[in-house]
Structure formats: C-alpha cells, structure tokens
Amino acid sequence: MESTDSHVHHEDGHGHHDPGFWRKYVFSTDHKMIGIQYGLTSLLFMLLGFFLIALMRWSIAYPGQPVPVVGYLLHAIMGDMASPVLDPQTRELIGYAISNDLYNSFGAMHGTIMVFLAVVPLAFAAFGNYVVPLQIGAPDMAFPRLNMASYHLFLLGGLIMFASFFIPGGPAQAGWTSYSPLATSIPTDGQFYWLVAMVVIITSSLLGAVNFIATIIQLRAPGMTWMRMPFFCWAQFVTAFLLLLAFPPLEVGALLQLMDNVAGTSFYLPTGLAISTLSDVSGGGSPLLYQHLFWFLGHPEVYVLILPAMGVVSEIIANNTRKPLWGYKSLVYSVLVLGFLSFIVWAHHMYLTGMGTKISTFFQTTTMIISIPSVIILTCLFISLWGGRIRFNTPMLFALAFLPMFGIGGLTGLPLGFNYSDILLHDTYYVIGHFHYVVAPGTIFALIAGIYFWYPKMTGRYMSEFWGRVHFWCSFVFMNLTFQPMFAQGMAGMLRRMADGGVGYSIANNPDAIGGLADRYLQLNVNITLAAYALGISQIPFIINLFYSIKNGKKVESDNPWESTTLDWQTPTPPPHGNFVGPIKVVNGPYEYSVPGAKADYIPQNQKA
C-alpha cells in the first residue's frame, strides 16, 4: 500500500519532487498556491482594515475619550497622533484618544486597505486564481511565473502601505480618494508611501489581469466553449478587463500626484493656490483632472468588487438549488454590458464639482442605464431559487443573504445617481451606508460563502457546519444593525469623515443653527459602534473554524462532496500540480442539474449524460 501511495505522488508531482518549503509556499508558480497566498494575505489586511474602523468608531461614539487599552499601543506606535487625555480634576494622564489627524489617517487607510488590499485581491486574485483554471479545465494559468510576480508585487505594495503606519507623521490622511490639492498639502510622507504603494499594487493588478484574460481565452479545455463556461469565469473575465483598462488612468493619476509631491510640479495645483499662505508652486494645474483620473478607475472598481461576488453566489445557488441557473445567457450578456457601461459613468461621483447640466445629464443617464443589467442579474438569481430543492448549508445561507443585502445596496444607489438628489446626499453617511451594503453584507458575504464552499476542495475537509451557522446569523444581524442606521443619519444630514461623529453640528452645540443634528441621530453613533464591535466578535468563530478545520474538520466523502457539475470538482482533492489526472473533454453546459432521466441529479461538464 505504502509504496504505491508514494509512487502515485511522484507522478502527480510532475518532476517537481518535493520542491522544498520556499518553492512550495513562497515562490510557488502553482495557481492554487498563489490563490491561497492571495487569500490569506488579503484576509489579514481585511482584519487590519476592520481594526482601524473599530478604533474610528470609538472616536465617533465617544469623541475625545481615551481608547481603552489599545490607546497605549497606539501611542507607542504613532506617538502624539494618539492624543493624551488628562483627568480634568487630578490632571493625571488617563489614556490616549484618537486625534483628528489619526482619525483621518485611519479613515484613509481603512478605505484603501479594504478596497485595494483586501476585497479586490480576495475576490479577484484569490478566488480567480484558485478556481478559474480549475473551472475551465486548464493545468495552470497561462503565465505561471508572471502570476508569481503579481503576488509578490501585491505583497510589496501592501507592505509599503503598511510601513507608512510607522513613519513620523503617520499614513496618508486624504481619504481613500486622495484628492489633490488636499493630498499634496498635508505635511506627512504618508502620502508618498500611499502613492508608491498604489503604483506597485496597480502594476501587480495589471499583470494579473493580463494573465487571467489570456488564460480564459487560450486555456479553456477542449469543448469548453464560451457559452459552456461557468458564470463565475465570465464574471472574472469581465473583471479582469475592467482592471486592465481602468487601472492605467489611475496609475497616471498617482504618478502625476507623485510628481506634484516629489518633483514640485503643479499638475493638480491651480494658479493662486493658497494653503494658509500662497503656495510656492508654478500653478496652472487642474484639481479636477485628478478626480477624473481617479474615478475613471473608481467606478469600474466597484464592479471589480461586486462581479466576482456575483459569480461566487451564482455557483453556490446553482449547486444548492439543484437546478440550472435561470437565464444563464441573460446573466452573461448582462455582465458584459455592465462591464462595458461601467467605463462611462464615472463622473456621477463628481456632481458637486461644478459640472454643467449637459454633462451631468449624460452621466446621470448612463448611470441609470447601467442599473438595468445589475437588476437583471439579481432577478435571475432570485428566480433561480424558484422551485429548487434548496440545501440550506452555510455557503448557501451566506449566498442567499447576499441577494437582499446587495439589493439594498444597489437600490439605495439610485438616489445617488440622480444629480439633484445626490446634491443633498453626497458626502453624508447615506453614501457610507449605501456602498457598505454593497461591499460588506454584499461582497464579503459572497466571499465568505465562497470560502465555505471551496474549502473542502482546498483541504479535503469541511468547515464546521454548526459554527458556520453561528457565524452566519451573528454576522447577518450585526451587519444590518451596523449599516442600517447610517441611512437615517445621512438623510438627517450627518457628514462622513468626521472624527467627532457630528457632535460639532449638533443642535445642542449650535442652538441657533438651522438643520443641526438632533440628539437621536447622534445617539445612533453608539448603537452602530456597539453593533460593529459585535460584528467583529462574530468573526472569531469563523477564524477559528478556518484554521481548526484544516486538520480537524469532517473529511470529505468524495472528490465532489457538493455533487457539483463544474470542472473544479472533477479533480483529485486537493488538486495536484497540473490539476487534472487525465485530459479533459467538456461535453455539457455548466449547470446540468436535475436533468430528467439522468442517473444522478447532476451531470458533470465532462461526462456524457
């Protein structure tokens, strides 16, 4: 027995006999290992991003009050950006609070890290790397070494960003958008780190995008025609194009700002710019140029955040309803149209920059048109549930929750797309509520669903179902308690990016002002903060489950434990280098579930009915 076992291993290993620790885990060119590297790194960044917002929420709910315990740590790392708080009577030091500067830094870093270092790499790079080659029946990505380089660049960019926490002055403070001239005038080197890190991360994404597209175009297994490709791969394909063509303008945006910062140019600095005194710059630049370059990526970026999530959800729903996705073709065409249109809607983020009515109308129109394919996709997924024999396992619970949560996120976006309502809602907590419904209970739920779903393929074991359910229900409840009140606060006029959570604008502090914030909205700050902490605690079962189950989870019964049709499950577990044991020939569409007259209720893509 034993000898045959090791023999088999050697064949699978394909001449890569025991590549050694470094080659196997760090300098791997295997798409699955790279996917896992991306996954773990981005989960760590996500934790960091959450940690930052947890501190910010403290400052919002209890402005000026010392942060328990962590305050001392902050002071040790960030120095006086964590401002000392003295006891009013005894004048003794009682702890450290979050200064406005620190709040700004953390806000900028929360946004940047969550978007560019956590969700995109998890959704696109991690899941894409692990699953896409498997689903299209390819032995690896088209350019394995380029793939490794992408991950290393990503890691480098992330580390540069992370390093900026430890420099004097702290990280960038100008929001994740880094608008000029604000970004150029804040006296911290953090902005320099931010820009360099962004250029590196963008380069990494570009290489990754090239690789994904080339893989999907070139390496589909024989018989895997475009219309037999699982929807997840379509979503990743479009996502890759978004990254490929939308990221370069932001790279230009970052490079020009870098020039402004280090070479003294005035690309974004207008003539006569004065920051307390007249700036000593040549002037002649255009602040709006930056905003255009930023949002030319910025908008497609939100589809980069959401499309892979839709892909994951589609796979899980098809699998757990045991029936084909309803309207596969509509899904595919919708995602293509969505990708296309997402390039011409960007200035809906700029209604307040003094655009004329003609151009506003143009962008408002395209924005409304782009909501159509999103609605089609969501509708198809909802209808797919109809009449299914639904298996309510953990991945499915998360996938199901995605639908209404993304629905809320999407529908609350419409008032932001019309310029006359956006003028009121812009820069309020309504916006924060809107896009967090899209990215947190939307995308992140979908990604968590994906982790529970593909975990058995990666490790050969299930994650605990019980703790999965605990994780789901707690996350679901607290997620909504966190973000739902933000809509109310925003509509009451509470602005975002305020370290004191709006106390400065309260009726109590400005009795004569019109439209001051009523106490009941400020009170919500505390509720939200507590809900956010509970949300954080709810992730603990997940984290433990994730690591504990590697060795101790319930073993899978077969290579295809979910009885799925797609090729990613027609491999050994975990898939060896090269993925498949024999040549693959695809003969079926992606979702042949419950075919009348078939032996089982699913027919894998590579098996004759």
Partner 1 sequence: MEVPYTDTNRPDTGLYNAKVGIWLFLASEVMLFGALFSAYILLRVGAMPGHWPTGLLDVGPGFVNTLVLILSSVTVVMAWASLKLNDFKKFKFYQGITVICALLFVVIKSFEYKSKFTHHDVILKDGMRVDGHLVEETDEFIVLSHPVSYPAEKGIRERAVAIKEAEHHAHEAGGDHHHEDRKIMLDDIEKRTTWGPWANTYLAIYFTLTGLHALHVIAGALVIAYFWGPGSKMWKTHPEQFANRIEVSGLFWHFVDLVWIFLFPILYLL
Partner 2 sequence: MSGHSPEEIKKSIRSYMMVFGVLIVGTIVTVLASFVDFGSSTANIIVALIIATFKASCVALIFMHLNAEKKTIYMTLGFTWFFFLGLMVLTIWASEDKPNYTVAPNDTPAVMAAPSEPAAH
Tokens representing residue 347 in the block: 């200035």
Q: How far is the CB of 296 from partner 2 (least distance, A)?
A: 6
How big, in percent rounded to 5, are the helix, strand and coil portions of the chain? 65, 5, 30
Tokens representing residue 156 in the block: 């480098």
Tell me how many residues contact partner 1 (CB under 8 A): 48
Tokens representing residue 494 in the block: 């509470």
CA-nearest of 334, 325, 391 to 565 is 325
The SS3 assignment for 252 reads helix
- Judged by CB under 5 A, does residue 426 bind Cu ion? no
Site mask for ligand HEM (CB under 6 A), range 341-380, x = bound = ----------------------------------------
Q: Which of residues 349-368 bind partner 2 (CB under 8 A)?
A: 350, 354-359, 362
Q: Which of residues 489-548 bind ligand HEM (CB under 6 A)?
A: 496-497, 532
Site mask for ligand HEM (CB under 6 A), range 451-490, x = bound = -------------------------------x--------
The residue behind tokens 């603990």 is 540
Q: How far is the CB of 427 from Cu ion (least distance, A)?
A: 14
User: Which listed residue (73, 217, 424, 518) binds partner 2 by CB under 8 A?
Assistant: 217
Q: What is residue 561's DSSP assignment?
A: T
Site mask for partner 1 (CB under 8 A), range 287-326, x = bound = --x---x--x------------------------------
Taking the C-alpha atoms of residue 443 and residue 460, their distance in angstroms, rounded to an integer, is 25
CA-nearest of 301, 323, 320, 331 to 397 is 320
Q: Which of residues 34-93 bind ligand HEM (CB under 6 A)?
A: 50, 53, 56
- Judged by CB under 6 A, does residue 176 bind ligand HEM? yes
Q: Which helix (H) or strand (E) holds 478?
A: helix 465-491
Taking the C-alpha atoms of residue 412 and residue 418, their distance in angstroms, rounded to an integer, is 11
Tokens representing residue 157 in the block: 């960019």
Nearer to ligand HEM, 53 or 332 (CB): 53
Q: Which of residues 206-245 bind partner 1 (CB under 8 A)?
A: 206, 209-211, 213-214, 217-219, 244-245
Taking the C-alpha atoms of residue 137 and residue 223, their distance in angstroms, rounded to an integer, is 10
Cis preceding-peptide flag for 324 (omega within 30 of 0): no
Q: How far is the CB of 352 from partner 2 (least distance, A)?
A: 11
- Judged by CB under 5 A, does residue 299 bind Cu ion? yes
User: Which listed residue (33, 43, 78, 119) binds ligand HEM by CB under 6 A?
Assistant: 119
Q: Which of residues 279-338 bind partner 2 (CB under 8 A)?
A: 286, 288-289, 292, 296
Which regions of 216-307 does DSSP assign to beta strands (E)?
274-275, 277-278
Nearer to partner 2, 149 or 289 (CB): 289
Nearer to partner 1, 219 or 385 (CB): 219
C-alpha torsion 269→273→279→285, nearest 10? 20
Nearer to ligand HEM, 482 or 560 (CB): 482
- Judged by CB under 8 A, does residue 263 bind partner 1? yes
Taking the C-alpha atoms of residue 569 and residue 591, their distance in angstroms, rounded to an integer, is 13
Pair 446, 310: CB distance under 8 Å = yes
Nearer to partner 2, 146 or 245 (CB): 245
CA-nearest of 455, 452, 474, 467 to 391 is 452
Cis preceding-peptide flag for 395 (omega within 30 of 0): no
User: Which listed residue (140, 301, 315, 592) binds partner 1 by CB under 8 A?
Assistant: 140
Taking the C-alpha atoms of residue 312 and residue 128, their distance in angstroms, rounded to an integer, is 10
**Residue 409: exposure state from Cβ atoms within 10 A (0-12, 13-18, ≥19):** buried
- Judged by CB under 6 A, does residue 444 bind ligand HEM? yes
User: Which listed residue (61, 74, 108, 126) binds ligand HEM by CB under 6 A?
Assistant: 108
- Judged by CB under 8 A, does residue 275 bind partner 1? no
Radius of gyration of the chain (CA): 25
Neighbours of 372 (CB within 10 A): 13
Q: How far is the CB of 536 from ligand HEM (least distance, A)?
A: 8
How far are the Cα atoms of 95, 193, 310, 500 from residue 376, in angstroms, in the given order? 53, 41, 12, 41
Task: Tell me which residues touch ligand HEM (CB under 6 A).
Answer: 50, 53, 56, 107-108, 110-111, 114-115, 119, 175-177, 305, 432, 436, 439-440, 444, 482, 496-497, 532
List residues binding partner 1 (CB under 8 A).
Answer: 138-144, 146, 206, 209-211, 213-214, 217-219, 244-249, 251-253, 255-256, 259, 263-267, 271, 281-286, 289, 293, 296, 578-580, 583
Site for partner 2, rule CB under 8 A: 217, 241, 245-246, 249, 270-271, 286, 288-289, 292, 296, 340, 343-344, 347, 350, 354-359, 362
